[in-house]
Amino acid sequence: MKDLERGFLLGACEDGTVYYKKSRNQYTIEIEQKERGWLEFVQGAFLSAYDKRSKIYMTSKGYYRLVVYSKMIFGELTNMRACRRRILAESPSYQLGYLRGIFDAEGTVHRDRFQIRVSSSKLDTISIVKKMLDASGISYGKISADKTAYVLPLYGKKNISNFNRKIGFRHPEKMDRLSRLIF
DSSP-derived secondary structure for 5-73: HHHHHHHHGGGEEEEEEGGGTEEEEEEEES-HHHHHHHHHHHHHHH----EEEE-TTS-EEEEEE-HHH
Q: Does the pLDDT at position 24 exceed 90?
A: yes
Distance between start and end Cα atoms, the chain: 29
**Fold (CATH) for 2-84:** Endonuclease I-creI (3.10.28)
Q: What is the mean pLDDT of residues 41-50?
A: 97
pLDDT digits (tens, 9 = 90+) for 133-144: 999 999 999 999
The residues spanned by each domain of the chain are: 2-84, 90-182
Q: Is the pLDDT of residue 165 over 80?
A: yes
Mean pLDDT of 25-53: 97
Report CA-CA distances (Å) from 172 to 66, 167, 177: 17, 14, 9
Q: What is the mean pLDDT of residues 126-130?
A: 97
Average pLDDT, the chain: 95
CB atoms within 10 A of CB 123: 12
pLDDT for 13: 97
pLDDT at position 154 over 80: yes
* CA 152 to chain CA mean position, Å: 14
The pLDDT value recorded for residue 183 is: 78
pTM of the model: 0.95
Q: Which fold has domain 90-182?
A: Endonuclease I-creI (3.10.28)
Residue 112, pLDDT > 90, answer no
Torsion of CA 27, 56, 45, 92, to 10 degrees: -70
Euclidean distance between CA atoms 148 and 89, whole angstroms: 28
Is there a common fold for 2-84 and 90-182?
Answer: yes
Please report the pLDDT score of residue 113 as a whole number: 83
**How much is the pLDDT for 114?**
87
One-character DSSP codes across 96-153:
HHHHHHHHHHHEEE-SSSSEEEEEES-HHHHHHHHHHHHHHT------EE-SS-EEEE
Residue 82's pLDDT is 94
